[in-house]
Amino acid sequence: MNYGNQMKKIITVVGARPQFIKAAVVSRILQNDPDMHEILVHTGQHYDANMSQIFFNELNLPTPHYHLGIGSHQHGKQTGDMLAAIEVLLLKEKPDCVLIYGDTNSTLAGALAAAKLHIPVAHVEAGLRTFDRKMPEEVNRIIADQLSTWLFTPTEQAIINLNQEGYADSRIIPVGDVMYDAALFYIEKAVQTSHILQQLNYQPKEYILATIHRAENTNDPNALKTLFQTLDQLARTKPVVMPLHPRTKQILNNHDPSLLTNSLIQIIEPVGFLDMIMLEKHAALIMTDSGGIQKEAFFYQVPCITLRNQPTEWIETVALGWNKIVSPSDADGVLTAAMNALNSRGIENQFPFGRGNAGNLIVDFLKKGMIDAHLDH
Ligand code: UD1
Ligand code: UDP
């Protein structure tokens, strides 16, 4: 390992769409720091051009040094294949730290591979909980936190969660939310370069933006059908545009393709982050099961309905009145909540996601943390 005044080597493991956005924030800072050398590893969990490459192009993420090409599988095989492949390159590269983001299978594999080799793990977005272990993300984040040396928390609630689980304060580093950094950094580029509203022929605040992809909403085709029928009904009142995740598209194609072709919902391919920012910012309402999109709705002060049977890990958005959790199987509840939310605003004088400098705080800490870890040995 490199210690003392030598350059520090960080291996960043990413694989899924939201991780490319989060990593872009920190990578930019690492690239400009002469003391840090980042090696980017893409597990290949997401691989369609509009789920992966578009983010590297738009957000200036460097081409991954390693692309593991793991692809789509059941959880065990997907995570296991990643684990074995990451282990090989960790043994070769001998990094000072492995940097992981969020709560996907790529996060879990990165944490486990590094911890087994006694390499410090830094977890960005640590401490989030829904307290529902049926969600794959909850399992991944609990284990990733357990295995991490440093826990970069985005919110006060994340710190409370970790404290309740007995984590030592010395491992918890409050930095704020890297997604807020991303929202601040890319808004200007989005305004300058995105033409998505013109392309779709929408006026600001005259459409609803919807996304659905979580396992809880897609695994049961009948429940998914009910949700699509509800959104189709809503689209009679206000246009609904839905950039469709490939998971959801595949399930609809297999079980009820007419929901794709005969729907009033305007279903489009997944879009890049810059187009997504514009779609979010100008939406009258956002309806989603995404973790990241709930928060982006908050950042752009757009009312949000989170379509989940589980609580959200971002409870601040609910507490401050911008987000409402509604069961997707409750058609009447969804329609009523949508109508109410279209006319509502939340509390505007509180901002619980940091100062938009999470990336800088993370890199500053990593430099210091790695020196301290060395001195402790
Ligand atoms: C994963 C994360 C989820 C996160 C989401 C972000 C896990 C367990 N889940 O869910 O927490 O919210 O990413 O988008 O890690 N597929 C394609 N092309 C792609 C990628 C996926 O067609 O480029 C299809 C495949 O049919 C695949 C399915 O989507 O089986 C699910 O992909 P997967 O990466 O396993 O999970 P996500 O639902 O994307
Ligand atoms: N996103 C995007 N294009 C899309 C859908 C989402 O750029 O078509 C962005 C979105 O703005 C957010 C992130 O992807 O920053 C959220 O990813 P996703 O909803 O896939 O995962 P989650 O946050 O639920 O893990």
Residue nearest to atom 35 of ligand 1 (CA): 72
Predicted pLDDT at 345: 93
What pLDDT band is residue 2 in, cutting at 50, 70 and 90?
very low
Give the number of other Cβ atoms within 10 Å of residue 139's Cβ. 16
Residue among 43, 56, 51, 47 at smallest CA distance from 101: 43
pTM score, two decimals? 0.97
Residue 54 CA: which ligand is closest?
2
Q: Position 350: which residue type?
A: Q
Indicate which atom in ligand 2 lies nearest the CA of residue 16.
Answer: 20
Give the three-state DSSP class for 101.
Answer: strand
Reported as a single tens digit per residue, the pLDDT across 261-306 is: 989 999 999 999 999 999 999 999 999 999 999 999 999 999 999 9
Counting residues of the chain whose pLDDT is more than 70, the rounded percentage is: 97
Q: What is the mean pLDDT of the chain?
A: 95
CA 306 to CA 100: how far, in whole Å? 26
Predicted pLDDT at 1: 45
CA of 375 relative to ligand 1 center, distance in Å = 40
Is the C-beta atom of 322 inside 6 A of ligand 2? Answer: no
* Contact partners, residue 305, CB within 8 Å, separation at least 6: 285, 286, 287, 288, 323, 324, 325, 326, 334, 337, 338, 341
4: pLDDT strictly greater than 60: no
CA 173 to CA 165: how far, in whole Å? 16
Residue nearest to atom 15 of ligand 1 (CA): 104
3 state SS for 188-203: HHHHHHCCHHHHHCCC
What pLDDT band is residue 241 in, cutting at 50, 70 and 90?
very high
Contact 217, 308 (CB under 8 A): yes
Contact 90, 3 (CB under 8 A): no
Torsion-angle region of 133 (φ positive above 0: left; ψ -120 to 50: alpha; else: beta) = alpha
